[in-house]
Copies of this chain bind each other. A is one copy, B any other.
């Protein structure tokens, strides 16, 4: 039966994807834990490096969580000198979060470690990296 075959194939694809997701998350969790960061903290740091100073609310949006959570996440990063709260020009309600030099350095180290580990994960299997890249581009 053709439809059953398609379902089976879909199921196998999803199962493989889940396995892949777990391993990639493992890489990330390890890299992040090596710098004593939580995943949301590391995501925040990386976002700030990419985008420059942004409002608290935008961090919440990026993390996909409620704005109230960002207070604590930024608090903990700020206590460790990786991030700074600054007044925003134009609207005195808004606080701008900016990564510090130290924070940026940590973010770079974490990202390098992630890059190494994920590359090691997919490298050997993807003998044709162009094919993999083409596929991933279509998925985005």
* Residues of A bordering B, CB below 8 Å: 9-14, 16-21, 24-26, 28, 64, 114-115, 118-119, 121-123, 125-126, 129, 131-133, 135-140
Q: Give the residues in chain B near A125, CB-CB below 8 Å.
A: 135, 138-139
A137 touches B16 (CB 8 A): yes
CA distance in complex: A48, B133 (Å): 36
Copies of chain A in the complex: 2
Q: In chain B, what residue has the closest Cβ to A133? A: B13
A21 touches B19 (CB 8 A): no
B25 touches A136 (CB 8 A): no
Q: Give the residues in chain B near A140, CB-CB below 8 Å.
A: 16, 19-20
Q: Give the residues in chain B near A14, CB-CB below 8 Å.
A: 114-115, 118-119
